[in-house]
Amino acid sequence: MCMRVQSAATITRVYDAGAGVITLPAGLAPDLTLRALLAVVAELHLPVLDGQPLCWCGQPLTLGCLIPRQRTGEETVGAA
């Protein structure tokens, strides 16, 4: 994939062509984040297939910024 999506508290550019990065506001609800991404995709004239935004190369754009960081195997869940 040649483009990626990230979130940030402060946005200087929504789309950085040199880095191939779309930056969305941090802290948005998931449905608003998807709506914001679709708005940027429309402005960039990127394709959308069945509601899934695609990169110019045809690969799906993923909302990695919505996926919480996972615990490592060394951490114990529910440890007090």
Query: Which pLDDT does position 65 carry in this prediction?
Result: 58
Taking the C-alpha atoms of residue 5 and residue 23, their distance in angstroms, rounded to an integer, is: 6
Query: Which pLDDT does position 42 carry in this prediction?
Result: 93
Residue 24 · residue 12 · CB < 8 Å: no
Average pLDDT score, the chain: 81
**pLDDT tens-place string over residues 42-58:** 999 999 888 888 888 88
Taking the C-alpha atoms of residue 54 and residue 49, their distance in angstroms, rounded to an integer, is: 7
The full set of domain ranges for the chain reads: 4-66
Handedness of CA 21, 25, 28, 33 (dihedral sign): negative
Query: Which pLDDT does position 16 carry in this prediction?
Result: 92
